[in-house]
């Protein structure tokens, strides 16, 4: 139990440091809109984190769904 508690505390300490990483998106058409709009609700880290799993059609559907909320 003590090992779990120490691991949990270590994770709590490490999470804010990981969240503060600066994400720089590739300069491409629409990057200004992504930085201005998407970042209002979540970190830009969401994009590279999910890029290997979502294709262009998936991102388009996600943006369309998000804009309709």
For the chain, 69 residues long, give each residue's pLDDT as a single digit of tens. 667 666 665 665 655 555 556 788 888 898 888 888 888 888 888 888 888 888 889 888 888 888 766
The Cα 50–Cα 35 span in angstroms is: 16
What pLDDT is recorded for position 1? 66
Residue 47: burial class (beta carbons within 10 Å; 0-12, 13-18, 19+): middle
What pLDDT is recorded for position 14? 56
What pLDDT is recorded for position 36? 84
What pLDDT is recorded for position 57? 92
Q: What torsion do the CA atoms of 25, 29, 32, 36 make, to the nearest 10 degrees?
A: -90
């Amino acid at each position: 139990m003590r090992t779990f508690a120490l691991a949990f505390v270590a994770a709590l300490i490490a999470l804010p440091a990981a969240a503060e990483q600066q994400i720089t998106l590739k300069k491409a058409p629409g990057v200004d809109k992504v930085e201005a709009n998407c970042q209002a609700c979540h970190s830009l880290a969401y994009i590279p984190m999910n890029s290997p799993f979502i294709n262009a059609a998936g991102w388009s559907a996600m943006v369309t769904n998000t804009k309709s909320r």
